[in-house]
Amino acid sequence: MVVLYREKSEHRQAVAEYAREFERRTSRKLELLDIDSKKGWDLAELYDVTQYPAIMATSDDGKLQNMWQGEPLPLINEVIGYTIEQ
C-alpha cells in the first residue's frame, strides 16, 4: 500500500496522521512516497495519478486493486481490506 503525496504541501500533516492511525489499527505501515521523488513520479505516471494525496492498493504483482485520489482521505475501514492478503 503506497501513499503518494507532496512533502511540501498542506496535506503533509493529514497524510502523516493517517499513516500513524493506519499503522495503529492494522499493525501495517503505509509506504509514503513524495511525488517529487523519482520513484514517486514514476508510480504517478504508471497508475495515471492526477490528484494528491493518492492511496494505491496493488497486488503483489503490481496490478492496481483500488486507488483513492485527493482529499478527503478515505476511511481506514475502506482501505483495510486491501492489506489482509499482502
Strand-pair category, 31-34 with 64-69: unpaired
**Helix or strand (DSSP H, E) at 18:** helix 12-26
Residue 61's closest CA among 27, 32, 85, 29? 85
Backbone angles phi, psi at 38, to 5 degrees: -60, -50
Q: Please give the single-letter amino acid code of residue 46.
A: L
Report if pTM > 0.85. Answer: yes
What is the per-residue pLDDT across 34-76, written as a single tens digit (0 to 9) for each?
Answer: 999 999 999 999 999 999 999 999 888 889 999 999 999 999 9
* pLDDT (tens digit per residue) in 1-33: 999 999 999 999 999 999 999 999 999 999 999
Domains within the chain, CATH numbers bracketed:
2-80 (3.40.30.10)
- Report pLDDT digits (tens) over 39-48: 999 999 999 9
- Binned at pLDDT 50, 70 and 90, residue 84 comes out as low
